[in-house]
Structure 1
Amino acid sequence: MTHFRNPILRGFNPDPSILRVDEDIYLATSTFEWFPGVQIHHSRDLVNWRLAARPLTRASQLDMRGDPDSCGVWAPDLSYADGRFWLVYTDVKRFGQSTLDGSTGVTLRDFHNYLVSADRIDGAWSDPVYLNSSGFDPALFHDDDGRSWLLNMLWDHRPNKPRFAGIVAQEFDRAQGALVGERHPIFTGTDRGFTEGPHVYKRDGWYHLLVAEGGTSWGHAVVMARSRNLLGPYEVHPDGAVLTSHGRRDGPLARAGHGDLVELADGTPWLVYLCGRPLPDLERCPLGRETALQPMRWGEDGWLRTMAGDAEPDLSPPRPDLPAAPWNEPVWNGDFTPGELPQDLQWLRSPEPEKLFSLSARPGFLRLYGRETVGSLFSQALVARRQQHFRYTATTRLEFDPIDYQQAAGLICYYNSTKFHYLHISRDEGRRVLQLMSAWPDDRRFRMSIVATDLPDGPIELKAELIMAELRFHWRAAGDDAWQDGSDILDASILSDEASLPGLPNFTGAFVGVACQDVAGLGTPADFAFFRYEGLDPD
């Protein structure tokens, strides 16, 4: 029997929603504050995937300027009806403040839920229809009677109430493009709490409700319930969790939860779910929440279970009974050409990329226009890719002539505004210098030091080398053979969800890329000749 190795989408691809249309399988994941919004991958065999679309590309669909870290696009849901693809998603505008137990005091948050549609997965997606702001994780269920229903978790901000107040459903009229009728509470969840991420499937006259519970950390789980009526009441799966890592904080696949189900043409069910891979002995997952795949089966009692029946996520499951269909698309070589930004790369929050960077201002280069401070929540010229390996090297060459200390540009390893390591060129007392700035989550303070003074004129190359939790920067003048030290060993494990102060949202993953700042407001540009990333994990 042929096996494959989880995760199937590596590095920051959480909250998977999966859909099959004939032989094509599509998988949507959250992008949070990274623009464009939502990643949709395409596969024919459930194992080999290619990025097919990022559908939220313009300001009318998504403007995240000002959204806090780890807010923005949460948990998209992809479905198909009337010959169209339907995508619902949350744009989180305010995370609010929480106590550790999440239940006392008033916690005000703003979760705006929207719907867009398209007749092709890679086509032009519509302007959004506003749905509600009652909670997050919206999903559409299209019943076999022709009616559609919107589900989402319900947020309760009142003092001394459970924040996660269960799952609600309301009919959505596809022809009108609007919610109609009353909102119905259908499921309050189990003792695990944090009930979210609803999906409904109909089988043999039963409505099966799948939810995520336990919080998106070590206690995460996929839980199911069923009812003869869409609006309930629902009975909970007799085994408790359908899939969970049982609170394990080590091992290959921890944090397993928040899943979605797809059925192949032969009726076999497969579950996609998010997971995390902790660094050894550190309980930190810098690759963020990734997407994995689990073969399932329907039991004689009509309940869904793993093949072994133990709810354990499988690192190396059997390959689906489909012919392997690897994609033979060219891998980006790291050079910049006029046109669209290479697919590997994204930027932060802004729907106006032309104000942040250009590939045509100087053909053959990525030009970043100096904008706000690194970590700004509004206008930040930072272009980066996901970290997808525990070991990698990333290199770039830049040409940058700062006026004074208010301009900077360089190579950055970034999680969010409070966690990053940044090697950059600036100017100090008239000299062009190389500086290292780090933001650490333990005390919310920035640390900065000068690495090299009196840099030579001309292009400078920068390199980041990562081995598990250890990061080192290097630099050299273009044309030199030898690299010089740009840092001591830095703690790269802080670039993870788990390295956080209590109460702050941390749901993304580590990125590596290039950045440019000009707090004088002059837009001083930096030109990057290439950006190359090489994963070095063993097979």
Structure 2
Amino acid sequence: MKIKNPVLPGFNADPSIIRVDDTYYIANSTFEWFPGVRLHESKDLVHWNELPSPLADVDMLDMKGNPASGGIWAPDLSYADGKFWLIFTDVKVTEGPFKDMHNYVTTAKDIHGPWTKPVLLNGVGFDESLFHDDDGRKYIVQQTWDHREYKHPFDGITLTEIDPNTLEVMPETARTIYDGTDVKLVEGPHLYKINGEYYLFAAQGGTVWTHQEVVARSKTLDAHSFTTEPGDPFITNFDTPDSYIQKQGHGALVSTPGGEWYYASLSARPWHHETESATDPRGWSPLGRETSIQKVEWDDEGWPRIVGGHGGETFVDAPKDAILTEAPKDHSFHDDFTGKLDTTNWNTLRIPFTDHMGSTGDGSLKLIGHDSLSSTFDVSMIAMRWQAFNFDASVKVKFNPFSYQQMAGLTNFYNDKHYSWIFITWNEEKGHVIEVAQNDNNNYTSFLKDDAIQIPEGTESVWFRTKVRKQFYTYEYSFDGQEWHEVPVKLDAKILSDEYVLSTYGGFFTGAFVGLAAVDYSGYNSTAEFNNFDYTELPDPDEPKE
């Protein structure tokens, strides 16, 4: 078998990978999307199945009001003492000199839960991981934030002991064990003990084209005791601009039962328009940062090296002892809303799906309109990741607005400043109409305006469809579900990418979603009804072949 990268496509960033017996588990960041922390499992490193989220209600995670790309950063999954340990960071401030954050730990005897109520650890820095030493001691390993304008904000990797029984942090034990290199922005640490030595894996360069992972090692856990691996970085795509996989860096190491080694890292797959350079800018990644897996070998000096070179490979040999794992062939998805909301596919913003937002059952999803899609508090939307470059998504919508402040429809969404949608609304001249609008860095454009499409009198429902074709996407509507009409608006998918958002401000960590939304910022709670959602992935003709 071959591992085909990325193994977790579409916004599955900052992977933490472990193995328990013959099963591998990966935890990924979810940022402001609910539920918090995404988990997958596999027995072959090739095929992966999603597991229930450990942070699925407000008792476990409260993100109301969190900024875009705040929330859950770089969870760390580990296994010790007969249970799973999950450390995660909830970031409350992303812009400016401060990174206010809360670091928590929760445990479970079974990966499916129940998980214990999270215990607050500290706020020293993000990207925390937990190291279980073989003498029974436990340590938090974390990036350290420095707000002082005359210092670099990334102040090395701090190691702090915690009481293994009470989980109380011992701040008096804190010390900086690694400063990183001149590349700076050292973060994402994971610590391992291999053949009697401590190995620290850490990311550098920021999660952009300069991203990389370095390895350092030491015989002790003393301050400033770690020495960086000589030569090139452990993994990077900074100098491999033609590789299908880009941005590799932040990740974690795992061994197989047979003694092979693999490394899971975030990555991205950019594309560029024909009028743009392929190297500067390198491109746009609406699918966000994804998870890739590379094989690792050890050199004669005991340093880990990526098989095939530090740029990694698209196709990687699977473990010799891999156990074939059954998994869906792609992420195509149909929801007829006959039962409870499927939160392994659907996500909500900052708050869970409750009766306040709406309900499912009897073949329909009902969403109660609240804040606009530009709010960070009370948004009535369910959405799923773009997980392919080309796909169609469609839904049937029933909505009876009486104000232009009431809207309901189908959206392609990155964050509160970057999204578009096709929706039913009302205007003074035509009554019920269809409009298409885009928010581009808070520059809101209604494309149809006076030419908004009038919904014929007596029409009970309208069908909406979006067609995403890598660089561009469009919207369509139908009054009978059979005959479709394309709205003459072609939208650039780069606006829903990390790189585009980064060009205007600092929140750039997620990826594009397709979703269903209802807005009623008049405060009258008008309700929209959705039926028969379909997400169908289509082939990518540019995809590499083995």
TM more than 0.5: yes
* Mapping 1:368-517, distance limit 5 Å: 368-429=367-428, 431-441=431-441, 444-450=442-448, 451-456=452-457, 457-479=459-481, 481-500=482-501, 501-517=503-519
Matched AA of 1:294: Q
Cα shift readout 1:386-410 (whole Å, capped 9, x = no counterpart): 0011111000001111121111000
In structure 1, the residue matched to 2:530 is: 528
Residues 1:300 and 1:494: Cα distance change in structure 2 (over 3 Å): same
In structure 1, the residue matched to 2:127 is: 137
In structure 1, the residue matched to 2:176 is: 185
Deviation at 1:246?
A: 2.1
Q: Is the 8 A contact 1:220 1:247 kept in 2?
A: no
Structure 1 gaps, min length 5: 98-106
Cα shift readout 1:88-135 (whole Å, capped 9, x = no counterpart): 0110001122xxxxxxxxx12202111111111111111111111111
In structure 2, the residue matched to 1:261 is: 253
Cα shift readout 1:359-386 (whole Å, capped 9, x = no counterpart): 14xx110111101011210010111110
Q: Residue 274 in 1 paired to residue 285 in 2?
A: no
* Mapping 1:17-96, distance limit 5 Å: 17-96=16-95
Distance 1:173 1:240 in 2: 37
Deviation at 1:279?
A: 1.1
SS at match of 2:536: strand
Structure 2 gaps, min length 5: 277-282
Residues 1:372 and 1:137: Cα distance change in structure 2 (over 3 Å): same
Q: Which moved more, 1:330-339 or 1:188-197?
A: 330-339
Distance 1:63 1:393 in 2: 33
TM-align CA RMSD: 1.6
Deviation at 1:344?
A: 1.2
Query: Percent identity at matched positions?
Result: 37
Distance 2:339 2:179 in 1: 52
Distance 2:328 2:25 in 1: 18
Matched AA of 1:492: A
Q: Is the 8 A contact 2:3 2:293 kept in 1?
A: no
TM-score by length of 2: 0.93
SS at match of 1:256: coil
Q: Which moved more, 1:258-267 or 1:344-353?
A: 344-353
* Mapping 1:349-364, distance limit 5 Å: 349-351=350-352, 353-360=354-361, 363-364=362-363
Q: Is the 8 A contact 2:101 2:125 kept in 1?
A: yes
Deviation at 1:487?
A: 3.7
Residues 1:259 and 1:229: Cα distance change in structure 2 (over 3 Å): same
TM-score by length of 1: 0.94
SS at match of 1:435: strand
Deviation at 1:298?
A: 1.3
Q: Is the 8 A contact 1:9 1:292 kept in 2?
A: yes
Cα shift readout 1:62-94 (whole Å, capped 9, x = no counterpart): 111111111100000001111111100110001
In structure 1, the residue matched to 2:280 is: none
Give the counterpart of 1:194 among 185, 188, 191. Answer: 185
Distance 1:223 1:3 in 2: 26
Q: Is the 8 A contact 1:218 1:247 kept in 2?
A: no
Distance 1:5 1:268 in 2: 18
Q: Which moved more, 1:340-349 or 1:400-409?
A: 340-349
Q: Is the 8 A contact 1:250 1:278 kept in 2?
A: no
SS at match of 1:197: strand
Q: Which moved more, 1:290-299 or 1:231-240?
A: 231-240
In structure 2, the residue matched to 1:251 is: 243
Q: Residue 216 in 1 paired to residue 207 in 2?
A: yes
SS at match of 2:311: coil
Deviation at 1:326?
A: 2.8
